[in-house]
Structure 1
Amino acid sequence: MTKRKKLNKGQSRRVTDNHNRRLKRNVADTIDDSQLGPQQDGLVISRFGQHADIEDGEQQIHRCNLRRTLGSLVTGDKVAWRPGLDTSHGISGVVEAVHPRTTVLTRPDFYDGVKPVAANIDQIVLVSSVLPELSCHVIDRYLVAAEDVDMPPMIVLNKVDLLTEQERSHAEKLLQRYCDIGYQVLYVSCDTGEGLEELKQAFNNHTSIFVGQSGVGKSSIVNAVMPEVGAVTGAVSDNSGLGQHTTTTARLYHFPSGGSLVDSPGIREFSLWHLAPERVAWCFREFREYLGGCRFRDCKHGTDPGCLIQEAKENGKIHPERLESYHRIMAAMADKPTRHHPNSL
């Protein structure tokens, strides 16, 4: 008989990890239903692998197992769950079903396709900052993603206290292009308090989600508008100039005055490669009245003759840098990645 080759340390670790994952997957299905209470509705506050924190009708949080038949489950989902009669190993219930979603924010994943990030959101708060840098191209990518899922976005420029008067004037000039096409823009400083009250008012009666690159101060804003939360914050790396990841999983918080907020993991990229080219053009809202009117049906809105979007740019109706952002996005989509970064949206 051929002697079986001994596993190396890495192979042994993977075998053990796979075995433990299989055991965890079966935990919820081995629970005796007689040990569970009656079914009730709940809200997913956060998701942790095969567990989720569920809020009941009294706003009490319960760490629950998930039935294997659930499929995807994300922060903001409304679910049916059953509490355990006895808490075991910190687990106090089982999630059994997910109610239909009104909206879902997704991210493309090269390995798993389009994955949900959060559900039942009705407002996207796009946080940018003067650090690591103010990039209108990054803002444009987020706006395309927001328009694609039909969620009204609001732009927040954070850390404005770091700007000189001249730099502040330049930033306002850059962001005026978004005000001109109907987006709300707020200027915020967690240190001076500028814009925080206006931001709180914008959260009222909405379920909002923060998106933005790492290091722009999303968690700092959460702390400023919700001091009781104590979200972990981090600084911009001196070595790379990139933000440090501080939030590791999406988490939903409630405002005392009404409304809710999802603080999402920090990301450094916003991928759009899953969208069709014509959909990207539609997601630039100021392009819409011109789409379909160009001389050629397959107009690329570049040097094509008879392009209404180019004509609108020349007439001052479309900002030149917005059109440039569109072409940069299209160029990036033409060069689809062979491997997608796991932290990108």
Structure 2
Amino acid sequence: MRSRYTEHDQEHYERPRRRTRPRTKDRPSYDDAVDGLVVTVDRGRFTLLVEDRRVMAMKSRPLGRKGVVVGDRVRVVGDVSGDEGTLARIVEVHERSTVLRRTADDDDPVERVVVANASQLVVVAALADPEPRPRLIDRALVAAYDAGMQPVLLLTKADLADPETLLSTYRSLGVPYLVTQRGADLTEVRELLADRVSVLVGHSGVGKSTLVNALVPDAHREVGHVNAVTGRGRHTSTSVWMLALPGGGWIVDTPGIRSFGLAHVRPERLIEAFPDLDEMTEECPRGCSHGTEEPECGLDAARESGAADPIRIDSFRRLLDARERSAEDH
């Protein structure tokens, strides 16, 4: 049969074949990779500590969409000299021990990992100037319990207001706390942070940057001021930074936040942080959230029988309600 096209027709010539890489199950071993610690992230570039050197790195393509955040322990290849202009590659992220998450809002399905591998969450709140905002404190505590981190309440500016009013709200939860003020001795704070990885969260203007500068003299974190009209602080920290403490341990300074979305937190995860109350919910109906409106909740039975402290139950349910309230705290 005669061909439709002759050698003079363009269609006669064979189309070039698509070039494809041969498929293989073999993956790079990265035997020469070294360990690093992510201390800050800025627009797709990661600052790592490799031994005692600061190394700039990017994420390798095989990691795909896997996120890399401050606090991650990673393996890195390439130029890890730390010299100016060099760029290494992160090829592996070690398993995380804890993950602190938040969502932008309570109806936002997208979780954002704030910090990895931290052991305690230090909620910094000013007793005045700006006024304390218990709703944000509640939400930060919920995030800490969900992440499996130890929450700590650190109250600043005690020279301006009596801390007892605020402490009475949280004492029944058993949350450890410290009270400090400008120029005060920070020995207890240093002991609290020693040999731990601690994340500092709080509204702008509560004194986080001042505290960080006192604990890490070469941190040089910018200090802001509180607006006399709105009572709100100005954002001075714009990214998450992990800083080594002179006496051992790390602190992670986060930007001042106005919201802490909790769409990712499940009620069953929250009550597991309170073993005494969790034990009293074993006979709850399936799907019970342990809230105030739940019928036949074991916490109500424990309250009526005197088996549990009613103040502690109310405090837990306040945290539970924090999941449902608006993230904004005006």
Q: State the TM-score, normalized to the length of structure 1.
A: 0.73
Task: Check 1:303–1:69 CA distance in 2 against 1; reply closer, same or farther (3 A cut).
Answer: closer
Is 1:123 aligned to residue 120 of structure 2? Answer: yes
Is 1:193 aligned to residue 178 of structure 2? Answer: no
Paired residue type of 1:290? M
Q: 8 Å contact 1:178–1:184 — kept in the other structure?
A: no
Task: Check 1:72–1:323 CA distance in 2 against 1; reply closer, same or farther (3 A cut).
Answer: closer
| Residues 25-65 of structure 1 deviation map (CA, whole Å, 9 limit, x = unaligned) | xxxxxxxxxxxx953211111111221111111x2212223
Rg bigger for which structure? Answer: 2
Paired residue type of 1:247? S
The alpha-carbon deviation at position 271 of structure 1 amounts to: 1.3
Q: 1:47: which partner in 2? A: 41
Q: 8 Å contact 1:249–1:265 — kept in the other structure?
A: yes
Q: 8 Å contact 2:108–2:263 — kept in the other structure?
A: no
Paired residue type of 2:166? L
Q: 1:157: which partner in 2? A: 155
Q: 2:62: which partner in 1? A: 69
My pick for the range that moved more, 272-281 or 148-157, is 272-281
The alpha-carbon deviation at position 240 of structure 1 amounts to: 2.5
The alpha-carbon deviation at position 198 of structure 1 amounts to: 0.2
Q: 8 Å contact 1:181–1:286 — kept in the other structure?
A: no
| Residues 82-115 of structure 1 deviation map (CA, whole Å, 9 limit, x = unaligned) | 3428989733422222222222212224667212
The alpha-carbon deviation at position 309 of structure 1 amounts to: 3.0
Q: 1:274: which partner in 2? A: 264
| Partners of 1:39 and 1:301 in 2: CA distance | 50
The unaligned stretches of length 5 or more in structure 1 are 1-36, 334-339
Q: 1:100: which partner in 2? A: 95
What is the total number of aligned residue pairs between the two structures?
A: 293
Task: Check 1:187–1:332 CA distance in 2 against 1; reply closer, same or farther (3 A cut).
Answer: same
Q: 8 Å contact 2:109–2:264 — kept in the other structure?
A: no
Between the two structures, name the one with larger relative contact order (CA 8 Å, sep ≥ 6). Answer: 2
Q: 1:146: which partner in 2? A: 144
Paired residue type of 1:266? G
Aligned equivalent of 1:265, options 247, 255, 258 = 255
Task: Check 1:326–1:120 CA distance in 2 against 1; reply closer, same or farther (3 A cut).
Answer: closer
Task: Name the SS for the 1:322 alignment partner.
Answer: helix
Task: Check 1:156–1:140 CA distance in 2 against 1; reply closer, same or farther (3 A cut).
Answer: same
Q: 8 Å contact 1:75–1:250 — kept in the other structure?
A: yes
Paired residue type of 2:95? P
| Partners of 1:299 and 1:277 in 2: CA distance | 6
Structure with a larger share of its residues in helix: 1
Task: Name the SS for the 2:310 alignment partner.
Answer: coil
Task: Check 1:287–1:136 CA distance in 2 against 1; reply closer, same or farther (3 A cut).
Answer: farther
Q: 1:81: which partner in 2? A: 76
The alpha-carbon deviation at position 328 of structure 1 amounts to: 3.6
Task: Name the SS for the 1:178 alignment partner.
Answer: helix
The unaligned stretches of length 5 or more in structure 2 are 1-30
| Partners of 1:256 and 1:324 in 2: CA distance | 39
RMSD: 3.3
| Partners of 1:248 and 1:205 in 2: CA distance | 26
Is 1:136 aligned to residue 134 of structure 2? Answer: yes
The alpha-carbon deviation at position 68 of structure 1 amounts to: 2.8
Is 1:234 aligned to residue 238 of structure 2? Answer: no
